Amino acid sequence: MKRFTELSLGILFILLLIGGVFIAGCTTTQPSQPTITVITTQPTAIDGDKLKLLVATTTSLYDTGLLNYLEPKFESLYNVDLQITSQGTGKAIEIAKKGDADVLLVHSPSQELAFVKDGFGINRRSFASNYFMIVGPANDPAGIANMTPENAFTTLLVKGTNNTAGVVFVSRGDASGTHTAEQKIWSNAKYNYTTNVSKSGNWYVEAGKGMGETLQMASEKGAYTFTDEGTYLSYKNNLKLVPLITKGSSLLNIYSVMTVFNDKQPVEKIKMANNFVNFLISTQTQDDIGNFGVDKYGKALFTPMSISVPTAPAGQVGDYSTLVTDLKPPAAITNTTASK
């Protein structure tokens, strides 16, 4: 009886084992779904792996803080290290011609057009404007308030060379875009800058400095100076200077950007420089430029082309809406003088 019971239990165990295997074979277990992570931003790279893009620019775009404002926006889009060197336009162009910059960002149309024509740059785009102005002490010892820019300069020269008390003019004197615009007004007023103005007396001081420092020097001396509106507004609270002349066609100030080109420029640098040009004329950046300064100064420091395109002689305002793709100058332009 005991042997039978043991045998029965053994058979029962075997049957249960076979049944379990059968049931397991007929049962399907669904695998868990993988977790999908959607990447919505550019991947973060080690600093040493980031492409460095050097922008040579005018002091007014740096002094106003506009480039500091836009820099992180561009870097986050392209995971690039944007490096900015602030000089007068003349020095910025020299840097770019040597191949020591990837982007040129200035405000001197005649110099920009020559730069492109000579094969040093491609894809020039105008992206913003504002106006120059003549500022000076509130008591206006030269009596130039509300004159045309040309008449004001003539008056300053006559009274300055005659040693009229309080009449001093501080010029950038640095071949910058602002200095070039000042010289153009002297030319419009029928004066030769080199022989009639520069070194004409103690009344005319050539600072050789950026716009912010020139404004501070003029304020300390109780002098007049020629400045762009944006830099004046950003320094206004620390100056003893007021706007005296703000109207006149010769006061228009146009800012443009272009890709630096030479026969040794790596193609990846040219492509990234093109990205920066397109970034400045993009809808979002144009909106950002149009809002920059409003909260602090009550008005924008720059007018983007998306809001208003100024009327100017042919060539001064470049294309402001066509995205750039070119990686070299047009075939008609040679770049034999451009080298790194």
Say if strands 252-260 and 103-106 run parallel, antiparallel, or are unpaired. Answer: antiparallel
pLDDT at 39 over 70: no
Task: Enumerate domains of the chain plus CATH numbers.
Answer: 50-130+254-304 (3.40.190.10), 131-251 (3.40.190.10)
Q: Which residues of 68-95 are buried (b: 16+ CB within 10 A; e: fewer)?
A: eebeeebeeebebbbebebbbbbbbbeb
pLDDT given at position 334? 52
The reported pTM is: 0.81
Q: Which 3 state secondary structure label does DSSP give 133?
A: strand
Closest CA to 325 of 256, 274, 282, 280: 274
d(CA 207, CA 175): 11
Contact (CB, 8 A) for 245 and 144: yes
Q: What is the mean pLDDT of residues 313-325?
A: 95
266-315: pLDDT as tens digits: 999 999 999 999 999 999 999 999 999 999 999 999 999 999 999 999 89
Contact (CB, 8 A) for 261 and 120: yes
Contact (CB, 8 A) for 55 and 105: yes
Q: What is the mean pLDDT of residues 141-147?
A: 98
Backbone angles phi, psi at 273, to 5 degrees: -65, -40
Residue 339 carries which side chain, given as an amino acid letter?
A: S
Contact (CB, 8 A) for 178 and 228: yes
The larger pLDDT score, comparing residue 12 to residue 244, is at 244
